[in-house]
């Protein structure tokens, strides 16, 4: 089918070029033919790329409009939890109201070896900047359908968590622009620390202006050969921007996709529009095949230490810092006065002894 189409295109292109001798400007003619040929080829390959990707979208792992097979019944392919609600345009995980939690979880364990997940979502609300929260998370974990403190999911989870954190809980986070997107790999005992916006455990991330955006906002997660990459497309340029790249990451198969969200004192609408899972065709050398046969039972990252950051106790504020300095100077002054007077007495005593 594709070959036939290409041949027709080529024929069209050839006859098109043969019609041209009526023009004298040989160079222009050739240039135009080249240009047309390039256009034909480019449009063909762009369309081919599309076909190729669509072919591999795995419906059984994807959540797309019109959201059939989503619901609260056990036969659903995706299960809803908490405040999650289906509308024609999105699955609203939480409304812009305080203290809500909502989630949606796939019922199918993921058995695809090399994959790419494209997520489209929308976070919007009436709160002013940094007076909104808490954000959204996307999951590929052993556990599913749990309530908890991590964006509406349990802590000490086992597997992958990708967080779109819209509220800086820690003062130390102010060196990062929020919203902040980050990746964490849980092993069942590691804890996500909300007080520090997950900083002690994050493996990478980036700032992304995704709240109240006029553009469609997307995440792209790709996992192949123990490498996980995260990209974002948030500024309407239809381009993927690198956000995180983690090698040596081992993720067992048979985990579940999910998306969750929570609001607290601060809130936002957290809308999931789609999660599309594509199977990738990846070639492997015999060694890589061997390496892949090793059974992975717990998620791990090689050289975990490289990601670890020192998170200090909440430091001093400007005022505290100033007071400390003033007291130090006064203290030093007092000390030197005391020292001087002691020295003076000692000298006097010595003089008395000599006479």
Ligand X SMILES: *[C@@H]1O[C@H](CO)[C@@H](O)[C@H](O)[C@H]1NC(C)=O
Site for ligand X in 262-301 (CB under 6 A): 298
Tell me how far, at minimum, the Cβ of 167 lies from Ca ion, in Å: 5
Site for ligand X in 35-94 (CB under 6 A): none
Task: Kindly state the tokens that stand for 154.
Answer: 């349990």
Element (H, E) at 161: strand 158-165
Q: Residue 165 touches which of ligand X, Ca ion, none (CB < 5 to 8 A by kind)?
A: Ca ion
Quote the tokens at residue 273.
Answer: 């529009």
Taking the least distance from each CB to ligand X, the nearer of 85 and 190 is: 190
Cβ closest to Ca ion, residue 42 vs residue 174: 174
Kindly tell me which of 244 and 277 has the beta carbon lying closer to Ca ion. Answer: 244
Which one of ligand X, Ca ion, none is in contact with 304 (Cβ closer than 5 to 8 A by kind)?
ligand X
Residues 142, 145, 151, CA angle at the centre, nearest 5°? Answer: 90
Binding site for Ca ion (CB under 5 A): 165, 167, 169, 197
Q: Please check whether residue 302 is in contact with residue 246, taking contact to mean a CB–CB distance below 8 angstroms.
A: no
Among 190, 209, 266, 280, binds ligand X (CB under 6 A): 190
CA distances (Å), origin 99, targets 13, 160, 178: 63, 25, 21
Closest CB to ligand X: residue number: 187
Q: Residue 302 Cβ, how far from ligand X at the closest point, in Å? A: 11
Which range binds ligand X by CB under 6 A, 22-30, 132-140, 174-182, 185-193? 185-193
CB of 146 to Ca ion, least distance (A): 19
Q: Which is nearer to Ca ion, 67 or 167 (CB)?
A: 167
Distances (CA, A) of 200 to 52, 167, 194, 289: 40, 17, 10, 33
> Is 109 strand, coil or helix?
coil
Tokens in use for 278? Answer: 């594509």
Residue 188 engages ligand X in binding (rule: CB under 6 A): yes
Structure tokens at 35: 């240009």
The span of 3-11, 100-108, 187-195, 206-214 binding ligand X (CB under 6 A) equals: 187-195
CA distance 87 to 66: 9
Decide if residue 191 touches ligand X (CB under 6 A): no
How far apart are CB 120 and Ca ion at their closest, in Å?
Answer: 22
Size of interface with ligand X, in residues (CB under 6 A): 6
Give whole-number Cα distances, 279 to 115, 150, 167, 314, in Å.
5, 28, 33, 44
Q: How far is residue 29's CA from residue 24's CA, in Å, rounded to a whole number?
A: 8
**What is the C-alpha to C-alpha distance for residues 55 and 247, in angstroms, rounded to an integer?**
28
Q: Which stretch binds ligand X (CB under 6 A): 34-42, 130-138, 182-190, 278-286?
A: 182-190
Phi-psi region of 205 (alpha: psi -120 to 50; beta: other; left: phi over 0): left
Q: CB within 8 A of 226, min separation 6: which ones?
A: 247, 248, 249, 250
Which partner from the list ligand X, Ca ion, none does 78 bind, CB cut-off 5 to 8 Å by kind?
A: none
Question: For ligand X, which is the closer residue by CB, 73 or 189?
Answer: 189
- Interface with ligand X, residue 189, by CB under 6 A: yes
DSSP per-residue letters across 3-39: HHHHHHHHHHHHHHHHTGGGSS-HHHHHHHHHHHHHH
Give 109 or 188: the residue with its C-beta nearer to ligand X. 188
Out of 120, 170, 187, 207, point to the residue binding ligand X (CB under 6 A): 187
Interacting residues toward ligand X by CB under 6 A: 187-190, 298, 304
């Amino acid at each position: 089918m594709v070959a036939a189409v290409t041949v027709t295109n080529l024929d069209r292109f050839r006859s098109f070029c043969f019609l041209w001798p009526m023009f004298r400007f040989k160079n222009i003619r050739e240039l135009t033919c080249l240009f047309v040929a390039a256009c034909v080829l480019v449009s063909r390959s762009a369309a081919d790329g599309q076909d190729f990707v669509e072919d591999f979208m795995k419906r059984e792992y994807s959540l797309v409009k019109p959201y059939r097979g989503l619901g609260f019944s056990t036969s659903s392919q995706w299960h809803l939890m908490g405040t999650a609600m289906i509308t024609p345009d999105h699955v609203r995980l939480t409304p812009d109201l305080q203290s809500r939690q909502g989630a949606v979880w796939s019922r199918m364990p993921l058995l695809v070896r090399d994959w790419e997940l494209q997520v489209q979502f929308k976070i919007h609300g009436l709160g002013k900047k940094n007076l909104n929260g808490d954000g959204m998370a996307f999951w590929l974990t052993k556990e599913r359908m749990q309530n908890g403190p991590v964006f509406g999911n349990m802590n000490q989870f086992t597997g992958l968590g990708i967080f779109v954190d819209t509220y800086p809980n820690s003062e130390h986070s102010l060196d990062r622009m929020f919203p902040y997107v980050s990746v964490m790999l849980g092993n069942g005992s590691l804890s996500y620390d909300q007080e520090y916006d997950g900083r002690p455990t994050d493996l990478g991330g980036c700032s992304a202006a995704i709240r109240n955006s006029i553009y469609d906002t997307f995440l792209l997660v790709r996992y192949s050969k123990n490498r996980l990459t995260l990209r974002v497309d948030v500024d309407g340029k239809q381009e993927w921007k690198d956000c995180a790249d983690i090698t040596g990451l081992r993720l067992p198969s048979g985990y579940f996709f999910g998306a969750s969200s929570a609001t607290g004192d601060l809130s936002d609408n957290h809308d999931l529009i789609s999660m599309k899972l594509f199977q990738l065709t990846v070639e492997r050398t015999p060694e890589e095949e061997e390496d892949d046969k090793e059974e992975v039972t717990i998620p791990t990252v090689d050289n975990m230490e490289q990601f670890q950051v020192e998170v200090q106790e909440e430091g001093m504020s400007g005022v505290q810092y100033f007071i400390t300095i003033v007291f130090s100077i006064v203290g030093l002054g007092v000390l030197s006065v005391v020292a001087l007077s002691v020295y003076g007495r000692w000298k006097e005593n010595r003089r008395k002894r000599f006479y």
